[in-house]
Amino acid sequence: MLVSISLLGFGNVGRGVARVLLEKKNFFKRKYGIEFKVVSISDSTATIWDEGGIDLKEALMVKENFGALKYWGSDYEIYHLSPIEVAEEVESDVFIDVTTANPEAYKWHMEAFRQGRHVVTSNKPPLVFYYTQLAQEAAMRGVNYRFEATVMAGTPIITLLQESLKGDEVISIEGIFNGTTTFILSEMEKGLTFEEALKKAQSLGIAEANPDVDIKGFDAAYKATILHDVAFEPISFKKVKIRGIDEIKPENIANAQKNDNVIRLIAKIERKNVIVEPKKVSKNSILAVYGTSNVAVIRSDLAGEIILKGSGAGVKETASAVVSDIIKAVKKE
Amino acid sequence: MLVSISLLGFGNVGRGVARVLLEKKNFFKRKYGIEFKVVSISDSTATIWDEGGIDLKEALMVKENFGALKYWGSDYEIYHLSPIEVAEEVESDVFIDVTTANPEAYKWHMEAFRQGRHVVTSNKPPLVFYYTQLAQEAAMRGVNYRFEATVMAGTPIITLLQESLKGDEVISIEGIFNGTTTFILSEMEKGLTFEEALKKAQSLGIAEANPDVDIKGFDAAYKATILHDVAFEPISFKKVKIRGIDEIKPENIANAQKNDNVIRLIAKIERKNVIVEPKKVSKNSILAVYGTSNVAVIRSDLAGEIILKGSGAGVKETASAVVSDIIKAVKKE
């Protein structure tokens, strides 16, 4: 089976996906009988578009050596298309959106569905704010919408909730879904103030220049909303109660440590009720994660308590989820 | 959709499945549009068979009050059919085998496939010894073979391996898949000898009168073999290296404890290599489980390390896996 792909976003994740498609080519052919043909790649400067398929090795080389696809003039035509034009005009089986947050992104997904394409994404806001519309449009067009990479990177919590526990009713999901806050809180455990820990995170590239989306709890709340949508039903983001870690003081950390506790940004998801807030958890609890580890404790009526833990970030890990989704999307047809 | 079921085995697990089908009837109708009709129930004494559907409430009542289906004479015809006759003659969409180990069980599954029925089972030996033949026959007949309940009860490791990580190659799975040995080893940590701990396990119904299958490591090895088959390719059970816990002495436990370790029966699964043996693990390691907890650490080339932990035993938990499999089997048609 020949599967054509339109790849929107050629940053770390987009290039990670391209690298997996390139390096594991024989594996996909052997295991699934699938050959991938990437017919377009877009970064913020340009779109390379060739129905015959783009040489991924060269694309990676150009992007990594020259910084932008617009400098790649010799072999391919350079197009200047908006994302929605890519979704509409580039003929592909699967539209992959691995760009970062853009309030308009749901429109691209909608357009791709209208054109009969599956959509695979790591982009959270469309799921958080337009889940119902997007899921309905995909169902109506008979295509698949997959978004494993939006929560816990390559750790397959979305697929677990969708494909397992079919006879169970989920009671709650409790977990840690943001690594930046874990990093800052762990550094504070070593004696840094919040501001010092944040600066360290920024200098290491763990926190962004504008860190609000992480430290104010929005990123965790986005993920918790997506989990609520999958485990229960769509919930309005306005109903999510969010408290970030920006008000945590060294004395809060010290007090927690005195009782063998640590503070972590915990998301708790129950039907119609999503809360993200810093909470004390025992140092020996499964919730006392470090580094980029994410963890989810899923409680359901029959299976009881199931714990899923793994990396919540990373290029290869996120590419794992995106590529798994591509295969699931086209094998389910 | 009306789904007819033939239920072989009416012990704890079989009754657990019947109870879920009965109690969550409206849930299955609402969520999946599925109505279940159980057309036969067999225990070791008799088969109740009614194409119109059996009253599950009454069946549970009879079995629990009189101990055997053969005493249920008033409402239904009593049949004396061998399991293979049930698989052949009882018209059903799904054949459920929740009996305990019987060397002939693979023949029942083969016959059910030949008749065009999906098979859902918690019965390990058919998978361990006839995986290739059974998987081929199911594929040839266009039906599904599902066995989530064979490993980790309701904790969905089989589905995770089958449905997630599609672009990944598994490197290894390490874990604890037998609760009886965990119980005995934990009791030895409290000062009991192996024999005393085993007797306690037997008196509590945790170990069987003939405990060899657990303590000699066969049960864990069966499960490890099934995981190898799913994660890699079929492996001959003869190639599995097995050492049980029956030679663990109080001094081994004490020595481990001195260094903050515990001993657990660990299964390690790599391509073409399955080893089950007692091993020291740090008290703080995720492998230091207690009670009926099972845990699996899955390592793969892209997603890295994924930990799945949950109950590995229990009636409701096992029923969760069986019922999830039934729904997956019929929804995939």
3-class secondary-structure state, position A133: helix
Degrees to nearest 5, angle at CA A326 with A325 and A330: 115
Contact: A20, B314; criterion CB under 8 Å: no
For range A172-178, the mean pLDDT? 98
What ipTM is given for this predicted complex? 0.96
Using CA coordinates, name the residue in chain B closest to A327: B166
For range A117-122, the mean pLDDT? 98
The whole-angstrom separation of Cα A7 and Cα A1 is 19
pLDDT at A323 over 80: yes
Q: Residue A12, Cα to own-chain centre: how many angstroms?
A: 13
Kind of pairing between the strands at A273-282 and A241-242: parallel
What is the per-residue pLDDT for A74?
73
A207 within some domain: yes
Residues A35 and A65: beta-carbon distance below 8 Å: no
A191 and A84 share a domain? no
With contacts defined as CB-CB under 8 Å, which chain B residues touch A300? 320
A277 and A149 share a domain? no
Task: For residue B239, give both structure tokens.
Answer: 């190639």
For range B100-119, the mean pLDDT? 94
A162 within some domain: no
Distance to chain A for B74, nearest Cα, Å: 32
A7 and A26 share a domain? yes
Beta-strand runs (E) in chain B: 2-8, 35-42, 47-49, 78-79, 94-97, 118-121, 145-146, 170-176, 241-242, 261-270, 273-282, 293-300, 304-311
pLDDT at A207 over 80: yes
A294 within some domain: yes
B186 and B130 share a domain? no
Q: Residue B6, Cα to own-chain centre: how many angstroms?
A: 18
CA end-to-end span of chain A, whole Å? 12
Distance to chain B for A111, nearest Cα, Å: 27
Q: Could you read off the pLDDT of A149-165 as tens digits, one per residue?
A: 999 999 999 999 999 99
A211 and A143 share a domain? no
Residues B209 and B239: beta-carbon distance below 8 Å: no
Q: At what angle do helices B25-32 and B12-23 cross, to 10 degrees?
A: 60
Distance to chain A for B54, nearest Cα, Å: 21
| 1-20 of B, contacting A, C-beta below 8 A | 20
Optimal mutation site among B1, B5, B36, B166, interface A, most CBs of chain A within 10 A: B166
A216 and A241 share a domain? yes
Q: What is the CATH number of the domain that holds A100?
A: 3.40.50.720
Return the minimum-mean-pLDDT range out of A170-184, A278-292, B69-83, B292-306. B69-83
pLDDT at B333 over 70: no
Residues B172 and B143: beta-carbon distance below 8 Å: no
What is the per-residue pLDDT for B80?
94
Using CA coordinates, name the residue in chain B closest to A160: B160
Give the single-character DSSP code of A21. Answer: H
Residues A8 and A83: beta-carbon distance below 8 Å: yes
CB under 8 Å to B313, separation ≥6 — which residues?
B153, B179, B292
Alpha helix (H) residue ranges in chain A: 12-23, 25-32, 56-66, 83-89, 105-114, 124-141, 157-163, 179-189, 194-203, 212-215, 218-231, 250-258, 315-331
Mean of per-residue pLDDT scores for chain A: 96
A73 within some domain: yes
A159 within some domain: no
pLDDT at A227 over 60: yes
Nearest Cα residue to B285 out of B253, B250, B260: B260
Q: Determine what percent of chain A is predicted with pLDDT higher than 90.
A: 94
Q: Is B169 on the interface with A (CB under 8 A)?
A: yes
Nearest Cα residue to B97 out of B326, B332, B333, B327: B326
Task: For residue A7, give both structure tokens.
Answer: 């790849």
Sign for the CA dihedral angle at B186, B188, B190, B196 comes to positive
A195 and A321 share a domain? no
Nearest to A320 among B167, B307, B321 (CB): B167
- The Cβ-side half-sphere exposure at A317, using a 13 Å CA radius, reads 19
Residues A134 and A230: beta-carbon distance below 8 Å: no
The whole-angstrom separation of Cα B13 and Cα B292 is 16
Nearest to A20 among B154, B302, B326 (CB): B302
Radius of gyration of chain A from Cα atoms? 21
CA distances A123 to A98, A114, A119, Å, are 6, 19, 11
Residues A97 and A121: beta-carbon distance below 8 Å: yes
Q: What is the CATH number of the domain that holds A231?
A: 3.30.360.10
B109 and B233 share a domain? no
Q: Could you read off the pLDDT of A258-281 as tens digits, one per residue?
A: 999 999 999 999 999 999 999 999
pTM, 2 dp: 0.97
What is the per-residue pLDDT for A101?
74
pLDDT at B8 over 90: yes
The letter for the amino acid at A268 is K
The whole-angstrom separation of Cα B253 and Cα B245 is 11
Domain span at residue A201? 167-311
Q: Is B230 on the interface with A (CB under 8 A)?
A: no
A161 within some domain: no
Nearest Cα residue to A146 out of A70, A209, A249, A226: A226
B174 and B76 share a domain? no
Task: For residue A74, give both structure tokens.
Answer: 């010799």
B306 and B325 share a domain? no
pLDDT at B75 over 80: no
Which of B223, B241, B258, B272 is an active site residue?
B223
CB under 8 Å to A80, separation ≥6 — which residues?
A46, A47
With contacts defined as CB-CB under 8 Å, which chain B residues touch A24? 167
Task: For residue B148, give both structure tokens.
Answer: 């989530």
A288 and A323 share a domain? no
Q: Is A104 exposed, middle or buried (0-12, 13-18, 19+ CB in 10 A)?
A: exposed
Residues B108 and B92: beta-carbon distance below 8 Å: no
The total number of structural domains in chain B stands at 2
Q: Determine what percent of chain B is predicted with pLDDT higher than 90.
A: 94
The whole-angstrom separation of Cα B255 and Cα B251 is 6
Using CA coordinates, name the residue in chain A closest to B314: A303
Q: Is A317 on the interface with B (CB under 8 A)?
A: yes
CB under 8 Å to B168, separation ≥6 — which residues?
A154, A320, A324, B300, B301, B302, B303
What is the per-residue pLDDT for A333?
52
**A304-311: strand order across its sheet:** A241-242, A273-282, A261-270, A170-176, A293-300, A304-311, B304-311, B293-300, B170-176, B261-270, B273-282, B241-242
A141 and A38 share a domain? yes
For range A299-319, the mean pLDDT? 97
Q: At what angle do helices B179-189 and B250-258 cross, to 10 degrees?
A: 80
- Specify the residue for token string 């929005």: A218
